[in-house]
A and B are shown apart, each in its own frame.
Chain A
């Protein structure tokens, strides 16, 4: 009997996962970035012996602790959902995800049980040198533990280094090096960590701006601004470079994602990058309606971004959907035929195995292997299902990129004014600085929205659609747990904001 999908259940499961993942990502970037800023503050203390640097380090360490404590275990909620809402998917990718996630947990436990304890408890108990070493280990270890989850996510965007076992319906790891060194994994790691560093620098600027506006702890605020603005400025360049590489990877491995990010419906040579644009909401793939009401393009830049050459062709949504023989692009309809063939051969393979006809099984397995990369297309109801949500991707991508270019200018301005000792006089900038935390979080969250919404409709790119990955649960069941999480996560968020604000109000004076 054919399985039927309840779109409401799939959407509630997606909403629940998005809610918890976005909530989890409220804490991770601050943990990754603040840990490095702490290491720099403490290094200045170690080098100069100036107690003010120690006071600065201990103050930011307290805010780091609040963020870490509220954020801890929020990632576990995602694992619960894997087992319940996404049990089919969990089973299929268990071998790929199992190793990286187990390494992450062991790594995190090792670091947290040892170096975290020394960092928080060891100020007067261990040598300054060992304390500094521990702070650096927390910073490096936190980023390294993030490698594994990012590797797992990158594999969903570009599945490599695995082989499908048709008897167990599982992807089995064949080449862990290929999984770890996949270009998508490398750019994922660099972009996620560098954006986290920038977000943390914005957090430090924001809190310091508040102190400067209030005329409190001026030395702490100015020194914090100096370190954070240099740190933020340097990593802003890495954000731009790694973001460029991520978009280039999308062009190579997920061209539909890039086309949706740019709302490029008809592919073109010398393609321009949209600087700013207002989409026509009536536009659908394959029609002749205009894409934009208004748009400004940077000429040639999309071709350069996608192919590293100005005069090259960038495929649009229509080319990828309906095919473009002149450019050698196979359309989704043809891929659906290949997907059906893959499913057919897999069905016959299972039948042959049941009948213990090993010769027929070997024949159908070989036929399946030729087209298995297109398996996911068998589940599409029509070619248009292969297009992700264009408005979310377009606006999400452009707001994120705009903020990504704005932040280095703000860091530079703060740095220059702090060096000239004029920062307290620029109250308009300090007031603007209070907005840097929400803007930083907006850019950081939009990065994941673009990454994950751009992957749709696939759970594993071209191999497994999200709707097949989901467990067959009633929509009401998933909906009720969604609201439980909404209440729980809101309470935790309110707790964090309250504790964080009270600690900022208290300032560096320990009570």
Chain B
């Protein structure tokens, strides 16, 4: 199949959809809400936004690990 043939295959397939059009609309709305709204305003990648490089990210997480244990008095 040539590139033109592949293009026509997809184009005609999308054009002849009935139920598929509703489903594609739903998928697009969902993706817009997820990436245009939720990801941007509510779900930043915290370590990526706060630190510029892997060394600083690693240092932060290591510090978090080392300082997260309960005080010695709570230990057996």
Interface residues of A (CB under 8 A from B): 1-3, 5, 62, 65-66, 69-70, 72-73, 76-77, 80-81, 83-84, 87-88, 90-92, 117, 120-122, 125, 166-170, 333, 336-337, 340, 343, 346-347, 350, 378-383, 467-468, 471-472, 481, 484, 488, 492, 495, 499, 503, 510-511
B74 at the A/B interface (Cβ < 8 Å)? Answer: yes
A472 to B43, CA, bound (A): 14
Chain B 20-52: CB-based contact to A (< 8 A → 1; otherwise 0): 101110110011011000110011111110000
Count, A-B residue pairs, CB within 8 A: 136
Cβ of B68: which chain A residues have Cβ within 8 Å of it? Answer: 2-3, 5, 379, 467-468
Closest to A84 in B: B43
Cβ of B70: which chain A residues have Cβ within 8 Å of it? Answer: 2, 379-381
Contact A169-B23, Cβ < 8 Å, known A76-B34, A83-B46, A340-B75: no
Interchain CB contact under 8 A, A333 and B9: no
Interchain CB contact under 8 A, B34 and A77: yes
Chain B 49-69: CB-based contact to A (< 8 A → 1; otherwise 0): 000001101110110111111
Interchain CB contact under 8 A, A88 and B69: no
Q: In angstroms, how far is the closest chain A Cβ from the Cβ of B31?
A: 6
Q: In angstroms, how far is the closest chain A Cβ from the Cβ of B64?
A: 6
Interchain CB contact under 8 A, B24 and A69: yes
Closest to A343 in B: B69
Q: In angstroms, how far is the closest chain A Cβ from the Cβ of B14?
A: 8
5 cross-chain CB contacts under 8 A:
A73-B34, A80-B43, A83-B46, A87-B46, A122-B13
Q: In angstroms, how far is the closest chain B Cβ from the Cβ of A397?
A: 31
A229 to B24, CA, bound (A): 32
A488 to B26, CA, bound (A): 12
Interchain CB contact under 8 A, A73 and B27: yes
Interchain CB contact under 8 A, B38 and A80: yes
- Select one of A1, A62, A125, A383 contacting B67, CB under 8 A: A1
- Select one of B20, B65, B67, B74 contacting A120, CB under 8 A: B20
B18 at the A/B interface (Cβ < 8 Å)? Answer: yes
Contact A84-B26, Cβ < 8 Å, known A91-B61, A121-B9, A468-B64: no
A460 to B43, CA, bound (A): 23
Q: How many residues of B contact A (CB 8 A)?
A: 46
A52 to B30, CA, bound (A): 35
Interchain CB contact under 8 A, B74 and A84: no
Interchain CB contact under 8 A, B44 and A84: yes
B19 at the A/B interface (Cβ < 8 Å)? Answer: yes
Contact A503-B75, Cβ < 8 Å, known A468-B64, A468-B68: no
Cβ of A503: which chain B residues have Cβ within 8 Å of it? Answer: 19
**Majority secondary structure of chain A interface residues (helix, strand, loop or mixed):** helix
Interchain CB contact under 8 A, B61 and A66: no
Closest to A62 in B: B19
A350 to B75, CA, bound (A): 22
- In order of increasing CB-CB distance, the 4 nearest A-B pairs are A121-B13, A83-B45, A168-B58, A69-B23
A379 to B24, CA, bound (A): 47
Cβ of B42: which chain A residues have Cβ within 8 Å of it? Answer: 84, 481, 484
A62 to B18, CA, bound (A): 11
Contact A337-B71, Cβ < 8 Å, known A65-B23, A503-B19: no
Interchain CB contact under 8 A, B45 and A84: yes
Cβ of B39: which chain A residues have Cβ within 8 Å of it? Answer: 80
Interchain CB contact under 8 A, A117 and B13: yes
Q: In angstroms, how far is the closest chain A Cβ from the Cβ of B46?
A: 4
A87 to B38, CA, bound (A): 17
Seed contacts A84-B42, A481-B38, A484-B38; 12 additional CB < 8 Å A-B pairs: A66-B23, A83-B43, A83-B45, A90-B47, A120-B13, A121-B12, A167-B58, A168-B54, A378-B75, A379-B68, A495-B26, A503-B19
Cβ of B75: which chain A residues have Cβ within 8 Å of it? Answer: 336-337, 340, 378
Closest to A473 in B: B46
Q: In angstroms, how far is the closest chain B Cβ from the Cβ of A499?
A: 7
Q: In angstroms, how far is the closest chain A Cβ from the Cβ of B63?
A: 9
Cβ of B20: which chain A residues have Cβ within 8 Å of it? Answer: 65, 120
Select the residue from A70, A77, A84 with max chain B CB neighbours within 10 A.
A84
Select the residue from A81, A125, A166 with max chain B CB neighbours within 10 A.
A125
Interchain CB contact under 8 A, A91 and B57: yes
Interchain CB contact under 8 A, A83 and B13: no
Contact A499-B66, Cβ < 8 Å, known A125-B9, A168-B54: no
Q: In angstroms, how far is the closest chain A Cβ from the Cβ of B42?
A: 5
Cβ of B23: which chain A residues have Cβ within 8 Å of it? Answer: 65-66, 69-70, 499
Cβ of B18: which chain A residues have Cβ within 8 Å of it? Answer: 510-511
Q: In angstroms, how far is the closest chain B Cβ from the Cβ of A164?
A: 10
Interchain CB contact under 8 A, B30 and A73: yes
Interchain CB contact under 8 A, A65 and B19: yes
Interchain CB contact under 8 A, A92 and B61: yes
A161 to B41, CA, bound (A): 37
Q: In angstroms, how far is the closest chain B Cβ from the Cβ of A275?
A: 38
Q: In angstroms, how far is the closest chain B Cβ from the Cβ of A22?
A: 18
Interchain CB contact under 8 A, B69 and A378: yes
Interchain CB contact under 8 A, B58 and A170: yes
Closest to A65 in B: B23
